[in-house]
Amino acid sequence: MMSPTIKDYIQENRERFLDELFGLIRIPSVSAIASHQPDMHRAAEYWRDALLGAGADKAEIYPTAGNPIVYAEKLVDPSFPTVLVYAHMDVMPVDPVNVWKSDPFQPVIRDGRIWARGADDDKGQSFMHAKAFEYLVRTGQLPCNSKFMIEGEEEVGSVNMGKFCEDHKEMLRADIILVSDTSMIAEDKPSITVGLRGLSYIEMEVKGPDRDLHSGIFGGAVANPANVMARIIASLYDENNRITIPGFYDDVVELSEAERTEMAKAPFDLKAYKESLNIGDVWGEKGYSTIERTGIRPTLDVNGMWSGYTGEGAKTVLPATAHAKISMRLVPDQDHHKISRLFEEHINRIAPPYVRIQVRTLHGGQGYASPTDMIAYQAADRAYTDAYGTKPIPVRSGGSIPIISAFEEKLGIKSILMGFGLESDAIHSPNESFSLYQFFKGIETITYFYQHFADMMKKERIS
């Protein structure tokens, strides 16, 4: 009997694939919130069972100092190349939850999309790997040794993943790390992410008087931490929207004119971009295009900020403290440790005498550049071309997956970023969704990748 094609297999198992994915999505594995820790363990068990079910010879849950990591493998032949899939089972918080059109942890299908937290990032995208693997195993075609490592702390900085890599170097040996945690340009415009930004994530507390004060009795005579913090944040950008932290740009690699010209060829519709976000205008560093601002330039954003009375109505209080969460996206060759240090030093230098300021690094990670001349890139290029009928474009993403550069550093293995998300998926936002078309197309593309990668690696070895 002929094996079914991957397209046929997807068609036959469509509902089961979604059911299994939905089971994973229903576990509210929010890593940023400590009370969800039991859910992290449930998610790990779910993944272990899913990978065993898909055909892994072995799947185990490894405890860490934080959330557990699932490792699974199926080793077919020592002479075959080895693919190590990296993914994460944790998701972002869901607040403001009242903005969601349906329960973030009860996936529903509307308009050809799955709506839920994690639908794309990264449950939807990672589960495609389990199903491509299942197809290859069940049809007896698995052309690579397959390994999986699924962690539970990607959204909080992969704090224990580095140590796991160091502790299990031999077990994790592979020719390539395969990751689906990025996006492509559009459903009909596949792309492969070849650059990621680094990240430095800071929390700042500005402390004024030791208690909230009556703003009438003390206002104007005692510095207001909220006003002071606003002034500090405002001062972090100059009039050209360049970051003012001394030394911040020192290590930024400037692209050549040729490289910038090449980049400018990527399709980009400014009008559609503004309309899709409902903004009157874009904003950013003077002298750079929107694509450059997110792709090759470092940035600084307030991710959260709070102080004083935030309830209904009017309370005339001079707040005792003000807080901000601030993250900086970094480009090659900025070092996140150095940037966090520069930030802290700068704040301490400009802190006025009438407040006390505490700066604390919440997490960080280096940026990453993926070479387009490696075999894995060529195999991915062919796989997208087979599945989508269009050659993918290499793009640099504004996002960060801090652990990717650590893999190269600790394991000596490059990563290939085969993302299937779309910008409209609203990852990290309310009403996250993932296109069913992309989910199934992703399974197909990944299957082709294994096949091309195995073929090309074998040819490379022979030649």
User: Residue 241 and residue 284: Cα distance in Å, rounded?
Assistant: 6
| Residue 156 vs 443, nearer CB to its own copies | 156
**Segment near its own copies (CB under 8 A), from 31-39, 56-64, 122-130, 440-448?**
31-39
Give the CA distances from residue 57 to residues 76, 138, 157, 462, in Å, rounded to whole numbers and listed in that order: 10, 13, 30, 29
Handedness of CA 367, 380, 385, 72 (dihedral sign): negative
Shortest gap between Cβ of 32 and its own copies (angstroms)?
3
β-bridge partners, 215 = none
Handedness of CA 431, 429, 25, 385 (dihedral sign): positive
User: Residue 239 and residue 233: Cα distance in Å, rounded?
Assistant: 13
Shortest gap between Cβ of 57 and its own copies (angstroms)?
36
As a residue count, the chain comes to: 463
Count CB-CB contacts under 10 A for residue 316.
Answer: 11
| Residue 162 vs 308, nearer CB to its own copies | 308
Say how many CA atoms lie within 13 Å of 26 toward its Cβ: 9
Site for its own copies in 46-85 (CB under 8 A): none
Selection from 234, 231, 230, 229 nearest residue 244 by Cα: 234
Element (H, E) at 152: none
Shortest gap between Cβ of 156 and its own copies (angstroms)?
5
Which of 52, 137, 222, 350 binds its own copies (CB under 8 A)? It is 222
**Segment near its own copies (CB under 8 A), from 232-240, 385-393, 406-414, 452-460?**
232-240
Shortest gap between Cβ of 221 and its own copies (angstroms)?
4
Shortest gap between Cβ of 213 and its own copies (angstroms)?
6
Shortest gap between Cβ of 267 and its own copies (angstroms)?
16
Shortest gap between Cβ of 429 and its own copies (angstroms)?
4
| Residue 313 vs 389, nearer CB to its own copies | 313
Count CB-CB contacts under 10 A for residue 5.
Answer: 13
| Residue 50 vs 359, nearer CB to its own copies | 359
Outline where DSSP puts E strands in 96-209.
Answer: 108-110, 113-115, 145-151, 176-179, 191-196, 198-207
User: Residue 107 and residue 460: Cα distance in Å, rounded?
Assistant: 44
**Segment near its own copies (CB under 8 A), from 2-10, 29-37, 72-80, 144-152?**
29-37
| Residue 170 vs 312, nearer CB to its own copies | 312
Cα of 359 vs its chain's centroid, Å: 24
Query: Are the C-beta atoms of 68 and 61 separated by less than 8 Å?
Result: yes
Element (H, E) at 329: strand 321-330
User: Residue 259 and residue 231: Cα distance in Å, rounded?
Assistant: 37
3-state SS assignment for residue 88: strand
278 to 317: interface string for its own copies, x by CB under 8 A: xxxxxxxx----x--xx--xxxxxxxxxxxxxxxxxxxxx
Shortest gap between Cβ of 455 and its own copies (angstroms)?
34
| Residue 23 vs 398, nearer CB to its own copies | 398
3-state SS assignment for residue 204: strand
Residue 253 sits in the site that holds its own copies (CB under 8 A): no
| Residue 340 vs 451, nearer CB to its own copies | 340
Shortest gap between Cβ of 201 and its own copies (angstroms)?
5
- ∠ Cα 371 372 376 (to 5°): 90
Shortest gap between Cβ of 155 and its own copies (angstroms)?
8
Shortest gap between Cβ of 392 and its own copies (angstroms)?
18
105 to 134: interface string for its own copies, x by CB under 8 A: ------------------------------
154 to 183: interface string for its own copies, x by CB under 8 A: -xxx-------------------------x
Which of 255, 430, 436, 456 binds its own copies (CB under 8 A)? It is 430
Site for its own copies in 345-384 (CB under 8 A): 352-356, 362-363
Residue 322 sits in the site that holds its own copies (CB under 8 A): yes
Element (H, E) at 4: none
DSSP string, 428-441: TSTT-EEEHHHHHH
Site for its own copies in 388-427 (CB under 8 A): 397-400, 423, 426-427
431 to 460: interface string for its own copies, x by CB under 8 A: x-----------------------------
**Segment near its own copies (CB under 8 A), from 25-33, 247-255, 369-377, 382-390?**
25-33
Shortest gap between Cβ of 168 and its own copies (angstroms)?
26
Say how many residues touch its own copies, by CB under 8 A: 101
User: Residue 230 and residue 352: Cα distance in Å, rounded?
Assistant: 13
Site for its own copies in 188-217 (CB under 8 A): 197, 199, 201, 203, 208-217
372-382 in b/e form (b: 16+ CB < 10 A) is eeebbbebbbb
Give the CA distances from residue 380 to residues 135, 157, 212, in Å, rounded to whole numbers and listed in that order: 18, 27, 57
